[in-house]
């Protein structure tokens, strides 16, 4: 076969394949566990990934994945390992997933009737991996021989305190009575991510990152995703640059492809996303670029994921920047694992660990009522808002900025319009209201501050200005009060106040663990980044404003400890600080993250009135 020519993947679709695992000695205790990035020399530098997965009771592999770009082959061992010469073991393996007789690849040609994967462990910390198709096996050969289609080799080195690895292998074997922890993984520069619908590849994405000119740049693109005719598709590309002590950057971009009138299979490119984070060389090596590409189709209620690039761990879908040293292993997790429910990972707007924040538009707002003006604060603000005038006679008592709940995700005019019943209550008290939305994710706080700054600039000299919100909106309201000392009062309903401690707290009234606080923490990490949780915790700031915090007794996401934590922190700074806490008894009235009684709501509304009565005289 000529180098670079297409070749049939017949070896991937044959019924039986042979895998030889050659261990330095027959001892089971020496059996390695590896997840390795392999450099493939096939007329150019390309990359494949070999993953040794599940093991039997003796610690010997029984499942192996071989990935190259959009192509994935899964091998499952058939029968027992057999001893061979030199203390080695061999086994017969069956293809259980992946491969196609019609799909072709020019980067890693797999042809012939059998494929062999050899792992020759040279020491406790190093190995050579050879992927060979066709012809007799020749471990350690770094270039194709005339009789072989392709020989792919790469060196796998386990990390040490002084020399991080370029791929992975453990320093010791797994214990007989417990599986060894997953070894660290290092991938630098670029990697290919398969986009799979179950086990069927729809295409591939390329993720890359580099350090140059005082910054880390990263980009991800998927140029040819296979789309069947007769459907709508939503293609989402997400990317983040993350690292300790660095604010990082994150972005998700979406497009919709209409294939309802198509008659044949077509391809489409997902949006390309590129980010740059200014950083010095000392910190550049600690950053990673983590990417995701999803293909969704319409479901009964919302878009449903049809295909996705890897989400099982960050290390399966991230790279360290090229030209940044020293290279560090990739983390397995960006977020907080669940303890009560299914151990889901990744996705977009899911609240799972490793997930991304893209946000969803709540849609257009219905027509405004009399006395309410859309965008009434004037032009130049980044998001929609509604200004409502008091509905009772007399002077304006103050301005109440209202922020909707969102998980830092929901946004759009209709999200702001959902606050109209709350605004009507404040307008009936003689307040001017500003019901505001924001752009999603990391832009939610700067957009909130832009609205508060506009209100303070227009009315702050003559009127008290307060900010109120529920759930994530309550968090934003408290952050606005923390960062803008001119704010006079703040109300948080079911609002997280300390994003660092939230993950380890359990809601009151539950006898078994609840994942709500971890889910909320993961939403915050997806929106802002793990390194910013302390910076975005209102309880960590002195707050000059009067504060009212309320939570339902059955709130499954925000424990009462979040309220007491802010109160105690404020009183430690200033014993005269006004922080009023209300725990609302459960009932049938839906409220934030639970249900409350009508009497509890009446008590809360009375506490609201008391809060603002301390700031202004009654009408």
Q: What is the pLDDT of residues 428-456, one digit of tens each?
A: 999 999 999 999 999 999 999 999 999 99
548 or 619, greater pLDDT: 548
Task: Give the torsion through C-alpha atoms of 318, 319, 321, 325, to 10 deg.
Answer: 120
Q: Is the pLDDT of residue 488 over 90?
A: yes
Specify the pairing of strand 546-552 against strand 489-493.
parallel
**Confidence (pLDDT) at 340:** 85
Torsion-angle region of 214 (φ positive above 0: left; ψ -120 to 50: alpha; else: beta): left
Residues 17-28 have a mean pLDDT of: 27
Does the pLDDT of residue 39 top 80, yes or no?
Answer: no
DSSP string of 243-272, one letter each residue: -TT---EEEEEEEEEE-SS--S-EEEEEEE
Phi and psi of 444, rounded to 5°? -65, -40
pLDDT at 268 over 80: yes
Q: Report the pLDDT averaged over residues 370-380.
A: 96
Asked if the structure places residue 54 within a domain, the reply is yes
Judge whether 414 lies within some domain: yes
Are 381 and 522 in the same domain?
yes
Q: What is the pLDDT of residue 101?
A: 30
Mean pLDDT of the chain: 78
Whether residue 168 has pLDDT greater than 50: no
CATH of the domain at 277: 2.60.40
In a domain, 329, yes or no: no
106, pLDDT greater than 60: no
Query: What is the three-class DSSP state of 455?
Result: helix
Is the pLDDT score of 473 beyond 80?
yes
Higher pLDDT pick, 222 / 340: 222
CA dist 227 to 69, 118, 252, 300, Å? 18, 36, 21, 20
pLDDT at residue 31 tops 80: no
Residue 186: the pLDDT is 86
Tell me what pLDDT residue 614 has. Answer: 80
Structural domain harbouring 13: 7-157
Identify the domain boundary among 107, 142, 157. 157
Question: In terms of domains, do 136 and 215 share one?
Answer: no
Q: Is the pLDDT confidence value at 570 over 90?
A: yes
Query: pLDDT-derived band of residue 104, with 50, 70 and 90 as boundaries?
Result: very low
Residue 321 reports pLDDT greater than 50: yes
How large is the average pLDDT for residues 282-288? 91
Q: What mean pLDDT comes out for the span 357-374?
A: 96
Q: Which residue has the tokens 């350090």?
A: 211
Cα 210 to Cα 189: distance, rounded to the nearest angstrom: 6
Cβ atoms of residues 433 and 427 within 8 Å: yes
pTM: 0.72
211 shares its domain with 149: no
Single residue among 282, 299, 319 that ends a domain in this structure: 319
State residue 131's pLDDT score: 37
> Do residues 390 and 282 share a domain?
no
Q: Total structural domains in the chain? A: 3
pLDDT at 507: 92
Tokens of 12: 């991937």
Distances (CA, A) of 451 to 14, 332, 429, 532: 63, 38, 22, 22
Q: Based on the fold, state whether residues 238 and 114 are members of the same structural domain.
A: no
Within this chain, do residues 496 and 604 fall inside the same structural domain, yes or no?
yes
- The stretch 385-400 carries a mean pLDDT of 97
With pLDDT > 90 as the criterion, what percentage of the chain qualifies? 64
Q: Residue 512 has what pLDDT?
A: 84
Query: Where residue 172 falls among pLDDT bands split at 50, 70, 90?
Result: very low
Q: How far, in Å, CA of 81 to CA of 363, rounded? A: 59
DSSP 3: T
Which pLDDT does position 74 carry in this prediction? 54
User: Same domain, yes or no, for 453 and 535?
Assistant: yes
Higher per-residue pLDDT: 37 or 49: 49
Q: Are 390 and 483 members of one domain?
A: yes
CB distance 156 to 167 below 8 Å: yes
Q: Among 232-241, 278-287, 361-370, 418-427, whose mean pLDDT is lowest?
A: 278-287
Q: What φ, ψ does residue 328 adopt, rounded to 5°?
A: -115, 150
CA–CA gap between residue 63 and residue 500 (Å, rounded): 38
Residue 402 lies in a domain: yes
Q: Cis ω on the peptide bond leading into residue 326 (within 30° of 0)?
A: yes
Residue 501 contacts residue 464 (beta carbons within 8 Å)? no
| 8 Å CB contact between 76 and 91 | no
Label residue 185 by pLDDT band (50, 70, 90). Answer: confident
Does the pLDDT of residue 487 top 70, yes or no? Answer: yes
Give the range with max mean pLDDT: 29-33, 78-82, 133-137, 201-205.
201-205
User: Does any domain span residue 343?
Assistant: no
Instruction: Indicate whether 330 belongs to any domain.
Output: no
What CATH number should be reported for the domain holding residue 425? Answer: 3.40.50.1820
Judgement on whether residues 204 and 150 belong to the same structural domain of the protein: no
- C-alpha span between 139 and 250 (Å, rounded): 42
In a domain, 331, yes or no: no
For residue 601, tell me if it sits in a domain: yes
110 and 233 housed in the same domain:
no
Same domain, yes or no: 564 and 605: yes
- Span 178-207, mean pLDDT? 86
Q: Check whether residue 253 and residue 111 sit in a common domain.
A: no
Q: Which residue, of 136, 157, 178, is where some domain finishes?
A: 157
pLDDT, tens digit, for every residue of 45-61?
A: 323 444 544 555 555 55
Non-local CB neighbours of 156 within 8 Å, separated by 6+ positions: 34, 36, 38, 126, 127, 128, 129, 165, 166, 167, 168, 169
What confidence tens digit (pLDDT) does each residue in 113-164 have? 233 343 332 333 333 333 333 333 333 333 232 222 222 333 333 233 233 3
């Amino acid at each position: 076969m000529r180098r670079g020519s297409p070749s049939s993947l017949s070896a991937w679709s044959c019924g039986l394949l042979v895998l030889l695992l050659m261990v330095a000695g027959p001892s089971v205790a020496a059996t390695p566990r590896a997840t390795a990035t392999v450099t493939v020399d096939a007329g150019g530098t390309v990359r494949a990934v070999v993953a040794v997965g599940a093991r039997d009771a003796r610690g010997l592999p029984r499942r192996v994945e071989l990935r190259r770009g959009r192509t994935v082959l899964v091998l499952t061992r058939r029968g027992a390992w057999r001893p061979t010469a030199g203390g080695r073991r061999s086994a017969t393996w069956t293809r259980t997933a992946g491969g196609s007789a019609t799909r072709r690849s020019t980067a890693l040609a797999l042809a012939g009737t059998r494929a062999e994967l050899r792992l020759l462990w040279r020491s406790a910390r190093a190995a050579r991996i050879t992927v060979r198709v066709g012809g007799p096996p020749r471990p350690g050969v770094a270039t194709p021989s005339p009789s072989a289609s392709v020989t792919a080799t790469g060196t796998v080195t386990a990390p040490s305190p002084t020399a991080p690895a370029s791929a992975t292998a453990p320093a010791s074997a797994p214990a007989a009575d417990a599986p060894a922890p997953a070894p660290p993984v290092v991938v630098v520069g670029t990697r290919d991510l398969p986009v799979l619908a179950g086990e069927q590849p729809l295409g591939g994405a390329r993720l890359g990152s580099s350090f140059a000119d005082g910054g880390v740049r990263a980009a991800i693109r998927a140029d040819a995703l296979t789309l069947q005719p007769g459907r709508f598709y939503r293609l989402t590309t997400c990317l983040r640059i993350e690292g300790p002590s660095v604010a990082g950057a994150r972005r998700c971009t979406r497009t919709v492809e209409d294939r309802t009138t198509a008659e044949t299979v077509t391809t489409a490119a997902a949006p390309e996303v590129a980010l740059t984070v200014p950083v010095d060389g000392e910190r550049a090596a600690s950053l990673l670029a983590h990417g995701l590409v999803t293909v969704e189709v319409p479901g009964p209620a919302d878009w449903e994921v049809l295909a996705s690039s890897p989400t099982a761990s960050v290390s399966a879908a991230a790279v360290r920047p090229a030209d940044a040293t020293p290279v560090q292993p990739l983390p397995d997790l960006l977020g907080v694992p669940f303890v009560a429910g299914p151990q889901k990972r990744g996705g977009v707007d899911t609240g799972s660990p490793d997930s991304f924040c893209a946000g969803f538009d709540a849609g257009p707002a219905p027509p405004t009522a009399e006395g309410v003006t859309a965008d009434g604060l004037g032009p130049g603000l980044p998001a929609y808002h509604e200004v409502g005038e008091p509905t009772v006679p007399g002077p304006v008592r103050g301005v109440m900025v209202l922020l909707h709940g969102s998980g830092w995700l929901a946004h759009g005019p209709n999200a702001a319009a959902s606050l109209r019943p709350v605004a009507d209550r404040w307008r009936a008290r003689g307040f001017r209201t500003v019901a505001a939305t924001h752009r999603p994710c990391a832009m939610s706080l700067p957009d909130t501050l832009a609205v508060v700054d506009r209100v303070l600039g227009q009315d702050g000299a003559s009127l008290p200005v307060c900010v109120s919100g529920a759930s994530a909106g309550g968090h934003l309201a408290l952050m606005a009060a923390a960062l803008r000392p001119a704010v006079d009062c703040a109300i948080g309903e079911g609002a997280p106040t300390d994003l660092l401690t939230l993950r380890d707290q359990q809601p009151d009234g539950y006898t078994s663990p609840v994942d709500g606080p971890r889910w909320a923490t993961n939403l915050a990490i997806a929106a802002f980044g793990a390194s910013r949780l302390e910076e975005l915790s209102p309880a960590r700031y002195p707050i000059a404003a009067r504060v009212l915090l309320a939570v339902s007794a059955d709130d499954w996401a925000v424990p009462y400890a979040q309220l007491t934590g802010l109160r105690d922190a404020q009183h430690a700074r200033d014993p005269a600080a006004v922080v009023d806490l209300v725990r609302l008894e459960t009932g049938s009235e839906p409220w934030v993250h639970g249900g409350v009684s009508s009497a509890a709501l009446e008590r809360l509304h009375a506490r609201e009135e008391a809060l603002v009565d301390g700031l202004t005289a009654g009408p």
